[in-house]
Structure 1
Amino acid sequence: MAAPEKPPASLAELIRRRSGAGRSKEPPSPSAAKPPVADRLGQFGLLFAEPEEADAQSSDPDILPEPDEEKASERRLWSVAELVSALRFRVEREYADVWVEGEISNCRPAPSGHLYFTLKDGDAQLPVVLFRREAALLKFRPTDGLSVLARGRVSVFESRGQLQLIANSLEPRGAGALQLAFEQLKAKLRAEGLFDEDRKRPLPPFPRTVGVITSTQGAVLRDIATVVRRRHARLNLLVFPATVQGPTCAEDVMRGLRYFNASPETHRVDVIVIARGGGSAEDLNGFNDEALARAIASSEVPVVSAIGHETDFTIADFVADLRAPTPSAAAEIVTGAQHRIEERVQSLEARLLRAVRFQQMHVRQRFLRVSAEGAFARLRDSINRRDQRVDTARFRLEALSQRLLQTRSVQLRQLSDRLHRQDVHRRVLLAVSQQQNLQQRLERTGAEFAQRSRQRLGRAEARLHALSPTAILERGYALVYREDGSLLRDASNAVEGEAITARVSHGTVRAIVSSNAHQT
């Protein structure tokens, strides 16, 4: 009966017994007295052939066994490259997709675009590399001390023999990625002076044309048009359709800014309004783009930002020349000066009436003072002259008001005519009529071309039929072939008793030459 196997003394010995190498009687080597190294390597699944008797003999460090040359020749020797490659292969297979949470330390962005840093957790640390393609997709900038959650695969950097995590995604812990990216971009642009008030330009008091960059599918454009129609019906609105949500939002808005800044004088706008309704932080994230912020700052035309509700803030709001709480409020701000003209005229009229009453009261008081001295006549003349000046001033004011009203009426008619000429419905009807005319011309041209082609085809078929050998045969002619298949062209070539074949219009006739008429 075999003796029971003794329990393993180390993890390396357990791996050796499972692999069947533990029963060899190989003498111990000097490296067999280092079980900690074998344990560490054994965790990666590598099997090392260690002598089973090493545990008992290595208890006394002064006693070194004699090496067995015959067994030593069977020992596998690893090169450094082979060992590290084997470790990397096993680690990458076992830890292909892991999530690691820790604190960023020693963050070093490389000129190539790759990002290198270390994740720390207590006394442990793990090198991490984020390659250029994944680093470009980050919505925030990793910095030292930031707690993050990294996802990737564990590998071994062979040049250094160093364990590292190759990350493919990175998420901040605590604050959200969008909020962190927002705060970082906000701080960066503030430091560059893009938020300074002295850089922002005032809006024109009486704009003639306002460019609106928004989606044509939502209610924002309808709200803006309603407010403008109610407060300033003669104001022109030039709309640039854009996507205001999703990955193409920033690029569409920048195209609108470039269009309005590069428009010719006939389509020149005085103010640009970027409008969007409310939404979540993810929906409004397209307006937190750095390139869009710089495009707004470099716009030659003043920009009004009307994005979301009053409590929503984006980077575009801070860079724009003016922020409106809502799109409707932006329309009210743009038309504010024009809307206040009527109030201003009424105020001036009230001031003028008060001034006239004051002058009348002042003259009346002087009249009462001088009437007691007997200068009634002079005062009456003075009052008459003043009344005359007042009447003259009144007449001039009425004439000026009349001319102003006539000028405004002419301008109103001109603008109405221009608006009528630019009526979209009429332009659509004109385009439909032109399309129908073109379609009729195309159909007529196609029919004529088909008729001419059919006539040419008929003439060609007639000519081809006239030249066809088959048509000649139909007129009573025949083709005579000799036995070798050659065409018999001369009767003198026929030989008596020779079999010939005559091809007529319908079928063939075989015959035997009985005589040669040419010879007779």
Structure 2
Amino acid sequence: MVEGFPGKRASQASLVWGVGPLMRAIADALAARFNPVAVRGEVSGFSRAASGHCYFALKDESGQVRCAMFRRSADQLSFAPRDGQVVEARGKLDVYGPRGDLQLIVESLTPAGQGALFEQFLRLKALLTEEGVFDEGRKRELPSQPKSIGVVTSLGAAALRDVVTALRRRVPHIPVVIYPSAVQGAQAPAELCAAMRTAFQRHVGSGESEVLLLVRGGGSLEDLWSFNDETLVRLITQAPMPVVCGVGHETDFTLADFAADLRAPTPTAAAEMCAPTRESRLGELLYLQERLADAALGELDQRAQRLDHLGQRLGRPSGRVHNSRQRLLEAEHRLQRGLALTAQSQRNRIQAMEKALPLALNHAVTQQRLRLERSSAALSLLDPQLVLERGYALLTDSRGSPVTRVAQAGPGDTLGARLRDGEVRLKVLSKEQSP
């Protein structure tokens, strides 16, 4: 399964993508698997739009790929590309979302014959990627406040001066340990590996260098080739401490960058990442601002590209106007028909309600009458007068309170007795209480 692509696992079998998210996922997968990429092919259909962007295709006997070269890169061309010319393009694979096209965003273009070393870089990168050497899951966070910082570089390199200056300015209290090594030439890979192993041993033995910087200044692909050495790259993944790789400039990439726990755009940036201070936070904000500016420019490039494509497809506007008028007439017809159906439905509903309303009212009145009659009958059963009609009497004392117990009256007390047709006064002669 291609790294970064959604596989056909059972948990994803029912996943339904939106078109836009799917295009972005494919673009991310391509970027993780291939970028940066170099392609050799024959130029076909080369054109430069009014925006300054260049569009063409690279093809050979077995295929072709669409290419877009934005104005910022096109302005750096040292030759005029022409159809049929064999060139080497370096850049990044992407997906043009509005049309779902695979395209190569070309950052540099040179006549063929200058890319053999880069092809070797890509082959080794593909091999190590397949083995999982660059797996993001094994990478570690940097310590927020390291007790010591190690640096692997040349003693005479400008990168070392930049790193030491940055660390002295930001964290002068943290000791810095230098592990010297050549950073260019035939002996550089072996010396870099030896310096790294020394740092590993001292860290395990005494805790020296809680984070390790692998740095050098910028240069050509040949100058930086020592940092693409397979042994060095594999050794970086075995480090007992986090490794920060700051090789070259921001646009330079080496295999050591992919293997390290963190890639810094420059040696100075590598030092700053290991020594976060208030000033570094401000620097990070500036860096994010630049990233935002690049993203905005990239978005503008995408919009300009889309405008170029739309301009090419526009053709005669009269046909579009006619089609739009036809769609408008169809929509008007559907709207009128829908309104008529709605009005008829409402009329039918009102008529049904008019028929049902008298029946509902009669039913409600009948129910209320029956309820009233049942309540009246229940209430009459509770009338005390009905009890008196059956020969019973209601006794009250001198205050008019009901007498219900023998204990409430004594000999000589006068009681009132209410009968069915009036009231009589009684005097208590004696009393007997039931056991």
Q: TM-score range by the shorter chain?
A: 0.3 to 0.5
The structure that has the greater radius of gyration is 1
RCO comparison, higher one (Cα < 8 Å, 6+): 2
* TM-score, structure 1 normalization: 0.31
